[in-house]
Amino acid sequence: MADGAVSENVVTTEILGDVALVCIDNPPVNASGHAVRVGLVEAIEALNAAGEAKAIAIWCAGRTFMAGADIREFGKPSKPPALPDVFNVIEGSAIPVVAVMHGTALGGGFELGLCCHARVAIAGSKVGLPEVLIGLLPGAGGTQRLPRLAGIPFALDMSLSGRQVPVEEAAQAGAIDRVVTGEPREVALEMARAVVAGDLPTRRTDQIEAAYDAEALAEAKAAAQAKTPNLVNPGKCVDAIAACNLPLPEGLKVERQCFLDCMETPQRAGLIHAFFGERAVSNIPEAKGPSREVQTVGVIGGGTMGSGIATACLSAGLNVVLVEVAQEGLDRGVATIGKNLDGAVKRGKMSAEKKDAALARLTPELDLDALAEVDLVIEAVFEKMEVKREIFGKLDGICKPGAVLASNTSYLDINEIAAATSRPSDVLGLHFFSPAHVMRLLEIVQGDKTAPEVLATGFALAKTLKKVGVLAQVCDGFIGNRILAHYGLCSGYLVLDGASPQQVDRALEDFGFAMGPYKVSDLAGLDIGWMTRKRKAGDRDPAERYAGDIPDRICEQGWFGRKTGKGYYLYDAGAPVPNPEVAEIIEAVRAEKGITPRDFTDQEIVDRYMTAMIVEAARVVEDGTAKRPLDVDMVFLFGYGFPRFRGGPLHYADTLGAAEIVARIERYAEEDPHYWQVPDILRRMAAEGTSFADLNKA
Ligand code: 3H9
């Protein structure tokens, strides 16, 4: 029996003749929180004590079978009974138990199914072991029972990919005994009766031996190490599965230890912060109010950005009117959209029929007048205020009343753009990230006069496009690019002072970034930064150390990165190699400036780069450009390739502590007091011993 806790009626039992139905009803997703665990043990023990039922069926109310352990409980002291103990009670039940799964039976939910004596699923539902995605491994018997039912290769695939597997596929592999149609409760009753009648065979996993596959295990271990060298949990997951040749109770002990080892890691905390952060960014009043209906979107500009935005809208089932000024540009835009959609088909993200239907919803036009009837316009033209104002002035006269007018500007003042219209309340910023049909971030920029309904329409659009919409206020670069501009200077200083671009890239890739900043610059095009530096040359503070001499000189050679075959790296053939001529430029610039290059360790590079990022991110929170620290974190995870397992710059900052960050800034400020300044918010946090996580809760 459990520790006497109240089960809050989240688990109820119905006796219907000689069968019993046990229902879990714990909205929204029937997670196995403490009350559920207690309730399940009580229900199974009570039925066994009574000894009247000949079969038990476990089913769930609401939209889904149990979606796993309650992730909100992780990191807090755990209250018994632990989930593996609950499942041992179920597996040990003398009365056979059948699970009836619907919706998404994930993690502990699927493991609940595995510990039962028969597993039935409703057609069209999915099962999965997504623990790997939150820094864990299946810790309630999944690594032991799944290989016994479906073999080691299938168990490795499910638990290392975290993918949601259609139940039909899981049934084929042996993980599910029967796929049926119907409502969960009715199916539960029918299946419990089928067990009694002997029409649904039962099996106990403690009586099944797994076919051992040492080769698959060794391959999986090597692949996990190569693919995610920074993560502990995939390797531990393989170790746990490898124990499936032991007797079940022994194997479960190994699994438990591996699970607890992962639970202790900061990676688990980072990944769970990412899970909740992704949901929390749109869990705000601004996103929830009434919004305007959007079925047809006008996209102005058929360049890379405009075509990507159009692709995203078409893929989500919206109609798109694409406007360009010249036929050639329009044709190029349509061709890019076609290529983007072809890519989606090739990657298995879209069927060929869906692609044809998407293209049929595209209307290419050469005249802004074609936007008269669209519900929302996204302007994605050249980054110049005069051009944008001219377009918005025209849209004001063309678009129907109530149309939402959005700019995809990355830096410019939305209020100034809105002022070019007679309806600034309809204007907002929708800042996509390149490639716009792939990157999940959408900064939703609120102007001074943006109507609440228009802002909510931005969030609704993000949801339709399956993007992560983050609210930002107006400033140069909004959340992401403003912070980037600041820490970009830091990487410039690192190279000026002695590091090579390759060392900076390597250090940050080892830290977990998908690509180092110099590889990213080469990919994005070095001319973009060059243009920005020229645009801002007049505003430069004379006290600021200029970090642009090296990239300026590279651009003067006509080397703009990947697209010209040359940048910080050479892209002639095969893998990029360092451009030796850049090393000469760097040396020359250092010599002209009288800089004696010094050595940096990789750790020092990471420390300085991350501190610079945290400094500006803290300021963005302090002045309200971002609503909360977690909004900054999600911008970096979904738009800037920040390592997900580190949770985002401000979650990472909490792992260091404000006092350590302040101490670092003060140390660096001894060399460059202009660049390295302690934001007030960090100084306050250091004094009070508070964290960014505290601000997320406030
Ligand atoms: C595990 O099981 C470990 C075991 O192996 C071993 C244990 C010893 N817990 O995503 P949605 C909330 S690890 C707590 O918007 P959808 C979510 O935050 C777990 N809360 O809906 C949101 O709250 P709010 C393995 C959870 O329909 C609300 O439910 N399982 C959990 O788009 C709705 O969620 C997973 O990793 C949870 N487990 O998608 C599954 N799950 O309304 C994680 C959800 O306040 N969950 N919430 O913002 C999912 O993948 C999706 O939520 C799911 C539904 C597909 C289920």
Ligand 1, atom 10: nearest CA belongs to which residue?
A: 279
| The pair of three-digit structure tokens given for residue 64, joined into one six-digit string | 């889904």
CATH topology of domain 293-474: Rossmann fold (3.40.50)
- Is there a shared CATH topology between the 4-264 domain and the 293-474 domain? no
Asked whether the predicted pLDDT for residue 6 surpasses 80, the reply is no
Q: How far is the CA of 139 from the centre of ligand 1 (A)?
A: 16
Q: What is the tens place of the pLDDT at every residue in 573-605?
A: 778 999 999 999 999 999 999 999 999 999 999
Q: Does 67 contact ligand 1 (Cβ within 6 A)?
A: yes
Residue 405, classed as helix, strand or coil, is strand
Give distance in angstroms: CA of 127 to centre of ligand 1. 13
Q: Predicted confidence band at 8 (pLDDT cuts at 50, 70, 90)?
A: low
- Answer whether CATH 3.90.226.10 is correct for domain 4-264: yes
In ligand 1, the atom with minimum distance to the C-alpha of 133 is 36
Residue 106 in contact with ligand 1 by CB distance below 6 A: yes
With 0-12 / 13-18 / 19 or more C-beta atoms within 10 angstroms meaning exposed / middle / buried, residue 414 is buried
Q: How far is the CA of 67 from the centre of ligand 1 (A)?
A: 6
Q: What spacing in Å lies between the alpha carbon of 130 and ligand 1's midpoint?
A: 10
Cα gap 595→40, rounded to integer Å? 69
Q: State the pLDDT at residue 541.
A: 87
3-class secondary structure, 27: coil
524 or 583: whose pLDDT is higher?
583
Q: State the pTM of this model.
A: 0.94
Mean pLDDT for the chain overall? 96
pLDDT score at 2: 38
More confident site: 643 or 8: 643
Q: Whose CA is nearest to atom 36 of ligand 1?
A: 130
Q: Domain boundaries in the chain?
A: 4-264, 293-474, 486-697
How far, in Å, CA of 435 to CA of 443, rounded? Answer: 14
The answer to whether the beta carbons of residues 636 and 505 sit under 8 Å apart is: no
pLDDT the model gives residue 7: 46
Q: Whose CA is closest to atom 49 on ligand 1? A: 67
Structure tokens at 30: 């029937």
Ligand 1 centroid–CA 70 distance in Å is: 7
Q: Is 126 in contact with 186 (CB distance < 8 Å)?
A: no
Residue 107 Cβ < 6 Å to ligand 1 = yes
Residue having the nearest C-alpha atom to atom 19 of ligand 1: 68
Q: How confident is the model at residue 260 (pLDDT cuts 50, 70, 90)?
A: very high
- The residue annotated as part of the active site, out of 14, 42, 91, 131, is 131
Q: Which residue in the list 42, 91, 111, 616 is annotated as catalytic?
A: 111
Instruction: Note the pLDDT tens digit of each residue in 33-43.
Output: 999 999 999 99
Q: At what angle do helices 629-639 and 480-497 cross, to 10 degrees?
A: 70
Whether residue 111 lies in the annotated active site: yes
| Alpha-carbon span 139 to 111, nearest angstrom | 9
Gap from CA of 278 to ligand 1 centroid (Å): 12
Smallest CA-to-CA distance from 43 within 101, 3, 2, 83 is with 2
Q: Is 587 a catalytic residue?
A: no
Q: Is the pLDDT of residue 535 over 90?
A: no
pLDDT of 5 > 60? The answer is no
Q: Which atom of ligand 1 is nearest to the CA of 276?
A: 18
- The 10s digit of each residue's pLDDT in 371-403 is 999 999 999 998 889 999 999 999 999 999 999
- At residue 493's C-alpha, the angle toward residues 491 and 497, to 5°, is 120
**pLDDT, tens digit (0-9, with 9 covering 90-100), for 436-492:** 999 999 999 999 999 999 999 999 999 999 999 999 999 999 999 999 999 999 999
Output the CA 492–ligand 1 centroid distance in Å.
41
| Assembly ipTM | 0.98
Using the mean position of ligand 1's atoms as its centre, give its distance from the Cα of residue 29 in Å: 6
CB 234 within 8 A of CB 132: yes
Unique residue bearing structure tokens 């597996």: 91
Q: Which of 30, 40, 71, 273 to mutate to test the pocket of ligand 1 (most atoms within 8 A of CB)?
A: 71
- Amino acid residing at 696: N
Does the structure show a pLDDT above 70 at 80? yes
- Residue 376 Cβ inside 6 Å of ligand 1? The answer reads no
**Nearest residue CA, atom 46 of ligand 1?**
67
Residue 81 Cβ contacting ligand 1 at under 6 Å: no
Nearest ligand 1 atom to alpha carbon 134: 36
pLDDT of residue 359: 97
SS3 per-residue string spanning 455-521: HHHHHHHHHHCCCEEEEEECCCCCCHHHHHHHHHHHHHHHHHHCCCHHHHHHHHHHHCCCCCHHHHH
User: Does ligand 1 lie within 6 Å of residue 33's CB atom?
Assistant: no
CATH, range 486-697: 1.10.1040.50
Cβ partners under 8 Å of residue 486, min gap 6 = 612, 613, 615, 616
Q: How does pLDDT run across 540-573, given as a tens digit for each residue?
A: 888 889 999 999 999 999 999 998 999 999 998 7
CB of 488 shorter than 6 A to ligand 1? no
| Residue range 419-434: mean pLDDT, rounded | 97
Q: Is the CB of 255 under 6 A from ligand 1?
A: no
Find out whether the beta carbon of 138 lies less than 6 Å from any atom of ligand 1. Answer: yes
Query: Cα(410) to centroid of ligand 1, in Å?
Result: 33
Decide: 139 in ligand 1 pocket, CB within 6 A: yes
